[in-house]
Amino acid sequence: MSDLDFGSTVRGFFAGQKIFQRYELKRILGRGGMGVVWLAHDGKLDTEVALKFLPEVVVLDPKAMDELKREAKRNLQITHPNIVRIYDFVDDPSSAAIAMEFVDGQTLSKLGLEQPGGVFSPEKLLPWIEQLAQALGYAHEKAKIVHRDLKPANLMIAGDGDLKVTDFGIARSIADSVTRVSASAGSSGSPPYMSPQQLDGLTPKVPDDIYAVGATLYELITGKPPFHSGGMAAMINQIQNVVPPPMAERRTELGNDGPPIPPAWEETVAACLAKDPANRPQSMREVVDRLHGEAPSPAIAAATSPSAKPAEYPTTTRTGLYAAIAAAVLVLSGLGYLSTPIARSSAISCVRSSSLIWAIDF
């Protein structure tokens, strides 16, 4: 058997080991450039948790550790049934980990592969999008936190059928820390789901999460995100300057069959993907209302239609940024988890266990 399933890891941990005077390690759930994830038993809470160990380069940097501790502390405040809970940030002189709720389920990315034609019907997605709206509405309005890394691989469907949002702010914070302390690129981040403003390095805001929701819906309904081809610089340019084709057109282009896409869904996703954040829906409640056919004002509808001309961006904001952006977004964006063996592209490293696979996006 590979040590991905049994035995020690590169950190020297092993099944049955007790760490941080509290957690007994059970088995590896996944690992990659962003660290190792173990299933562990929390002796204090008497429950199973997922322990996400931080990369060594971060553990050895006091500033990075302080930043991540503060981010984890902020996320301790998030308590919502549709958001994976963060329980604790634990560390000792040689390692550090984030303890979080363990969910045995499948991501929407994985479930999409099992749908007829490899795409979801809007009807099937709607209940989950409504739950996502509740989760993000709570985070944006009550906790005042944005996710920063929404994508199909970070949206899980638990055993009871409810949606759970994973890696709330954590994966992107780890990636940012690795980029800063190592001054080198990893394998990839999540540029297909990042807004033009996020790619420009601006402070993430609610409209950036709305854009990511649009890119996620676009992929789940068509089989691919709005922009997915070309090199990194080309993809960044497309995200910032090109309006993607309607979903029905993209689905035909890809040869993916699926049920008809209601006009309200085409218009809503196009609005979420507007280049100008002011032209996007300003809340997840508005996104859901639009999906139900409750139209926005004519002015907003005209500004966010698929045929609308992309908003102009000052070229000075991008001068000299492409190299830095490409390095930043190439960093691993974090860890998500799956419950059954999957057929993913070579961009994903999958780690088997007897009943669960955690996938690490590269």
Strands of the sheet with 47-53, listed across from one edge = 18-19, 23-32, 35-42, 47-53, 96-101, 86-91
| Main-chain dihedrals φ then ψ at residue 77, nearest 5 degrees | -75, -15
Strands of the sheet with 357-361, listed across from one edge = 335-338, 357-361, 348-351
Report how far residue 315's alpha carbon sits from residue 313's, in angstroms, rounded to the nearest whole number.
6
Q: What angle do CA 324, 170, 133 make, to 5 degrees?
A: 105
Q: Computed over its alpha carbons, how large is the radius of gyration of the chain?
A: 20
**Cα–Cα nearest to 163, from 81, 266, 82:** 82
What are the tokens at 28?
Answer: 């590896």
Using DSSP's 3-state secondary structure scheme, residue 252 falls into helix
What are the tokens at 320?
Answer: 């000299």
- 100 forms beta bridges with 50, 86
The question of whether 276 is a catalytic residue gets the answer: no
Categorise residue 136: left if φ over 0, alpha if ψ from -120 to 50, beta otherwise: alpha
Report how far residue 82's alpha carbon sits from residue 156's, in angstroms, rounded to the nearest whole number.
9
What are the tokens at 325?
Answer: 């952006």
Listed in sequence order, the residues at least 6 apart from 34 whose beta carbon sits closer than 8 Å to its beta carbon are 55, 171, 174, 175, 178, 186, 332, 333, 334, 335, 360
Identified catalytic residue from 42, 149, 176, 361? 149
DSSP class per residue in 274-317: -SSGGGS-SSHHHHHHHHTT----HHHHHHTSTTSPPPP--GGG
Report how far residue 359's alpha carbon sits from residue 340's, in angstroms, rounded to the nearest whole number.
10
**Catalytic residue positions?**
149
